[in-house]
Amino acid sequence: MQIDLSTQIPTRSGMLKLPNPVIGASGSFGHSNELFEIVDPEEVGAITIKSLAHFESHGNKSPRVAAVSTGMMNSVGLPGPDISNWLEDGYLKIKKANGRFIMAIWGQNYDDYSKAASLIAPVADSFIALEINLSCPNTERGNHLFAQSENDTREITKRVRNEIGNTIPISVKLSSGVTSITDIAGAAIDGGADILTLFNTSMGLALDPYTRKPILGKGPGGYSGQGILPIAQKGVFEVRKAFPDVGIIGTGGISNGVDAASMMMCGANAVGVATAVFIDPNAPVKIAHELKEFCFDTGVANVNELVGSIDLGV
Ligand SMILES: Cc1cc2nc3c(=O)[nH]c(=O)nc-3n(C[C@H](O)[C@H](O)[C@H](O)COP(=O)(O)O)c2cc1C
């Protein structure tokens, strides 16, 4: 049986097409072509650039990453050059590479997001989408994520849409740490989002009981990897039920093709992978191959058939 892995993510202006549904999530591939000597970007469904702001940022104090038994903790923050400088360096390298790239932006306030989007607007057609990161738990805003407020989510999405126009789809990256994910997802859609990236890291705290100290320099951080797959899947499932037509990139805890299939069954059109990339930069390519095998083994000819196919019984 021939298996078709080509993927369609619905947007307001039609289908966003990818050769396979496995996307390198923001933060996994750095700001430019850092990993392209060992990973062929053409083979990855798409690669999301690590979120950038209109200002330079240095991130948090070390240690910034640590392994836990069910995944990884990080408090990297969002270090990176300001977008203007990046446009003269990292961007030019990306532009030369084959592949599909999703730009990603962040900020500390509404204006920061508008400024970031206005800097990207002139080169927007180099990207297949723009992701608005409203959900990083490692910024100076601490626990007050924009993605926890319907109003902030709607307003920032609107402002970014105003700056970027209708040239590319907008994806809004949300947090699983909210009371009602469907309310927040609805606010993003209301503000102009085409796609929802569900989710960023979960908020966590891990410590070494022998020293009684947190394992990360900052204390709390973002929890990612295998242990968060069920959390992400529940959110994806609820959003898919509430919004049957929105594009969803299910992200959180995916480390193999069977996980990817399971996330798609909950309603994701495509999946994002970050922690697995830190273990093996070729993880997205391997996961896509394993997903193909899963489709073959279970008689699924077209990967899009998996989307929302969860069997809830009667
Ligand atoms: C070290 C690290 C850095 C990350 N940096 C970003 C980032 O810059 N922007 C963003 O939106 N998400 C960032 N994330 C979150 C991931 O994109 C992803 O949403 C999250 O880790 C859950 O997926 P996973 O379980 O496959 O890692 C980062 C995650 C890790 C582990």
Note the pLDDT tens digit of each residue in 285-298: 999 999 999 999 99
Q: Atom 6 (ligand 1): residue with closest C-alpha?
A: 27
**What is the C-alpha separation between 236 and 241, in angstroms, rounded?**
9
pLDDT tens for residues 14-43?
Answer: 999 999 999 999 999 999 999 999 999 999
Protein residues whose CB sits closer than 6 Å to any atom of ligand 1? 25-27, 50-51, 65, 72, 74, 76, 78, 104, 133, 136, 173, 200-201, 224-225, 228, 251-254, 273-276
Average pLDDT over residues 125-154: 92
Give the class (CATH, top level) of 7-306. Answer: alpha beta
- β-pairing, 195-198 with 129-133? unpaired
pLDDT tens for residues 48-85?
Answer: 999 999 999 998 989 999 999 999 999 998 999 999 99
**What is the C-alpha separation between 110 and 80, in angstroms, rounded?**
19
Mutate to test the pocket of ligand 1, among 224, 228, 259 (most ligand atoms within 8 A of CB): 224
Q: Atom 4 (ligand 1): residue with closest C-alpha?
A: 27
pTM over 0.75: yes
In sign, the C-alpha dihedral spanning 80, 83, 88, 92 is positive
**What is the C-alpha separation between 221 and 209, in angstroms, rounded?**
17
**Within a 13 Å sphere around the CA of 54, how many CA atoms are in the beta-carbon half?**
15
pLDDT tens for residues 151-206?
Answer: 999 999 999 999 999 999 999 999 999 999 999 999 999 999 999 999 999 999 99
Confidence of residue 145 (pLDDT cuts 50, 70, 90): very high
User: Rounded to 5 degrees, what angle do the CA atoms 148, 47, 174 make?
Assistant: 5
Helix (H, G, I), strand (E, B) or coil at 2: coil
CB 103 within 8 A of CB 21: no
Task: Please report the pLDDT score of residue 137 as a whole number.
Answer: 84
Q: Atom 29 (ligand 1): residue with closest C-alpha?
A: 27
Q: What is the distance in A from the centroid of ligand 1 to the CA of 237?
A: 20
Percent of the chain scoring above 90 in pLDDT: 95
Q: What is the distance in A from the centroid of ligand 1 to the CA of 25?
A: 6
| 140: pLDDT strictly greater than 80 | no
Task: Please report the pLDDT score of residue 314 as a whole number.
Answer: 63
**What is the C-alpha separation between 178 and 131, in angstroms, rounded?**
19
Residues in the chain: 314
Residues with Cβ within 8 Å of 147's Cβ and at least 6 positions away in sequence, in order, are: 134, 135, 153, 172, 173, 174, 175, 178, 184, 200
Confidence of residue 139 (pLDDT cuts 50, 70, 90): confident
Looking at the annotation, which residues are catalytic?
Answer: 136
The mean pLDDT value of the chain amounts to: 96
Task: Please report the pLDDT score of residue 309 as a whole number.
Answer: 98
Q: What is the distance in A from the centroid of ligand 1 to the CA of 274?
A: 5
Residues paired with 7 in a beta bridge: 18
Tokens of 7: 């993927």
Confidence of residue 141 (pLDDT cuts 50, 70, 90): confident
Q: Which helix (H) or strand (E) holds 119?
A: helix 110-120
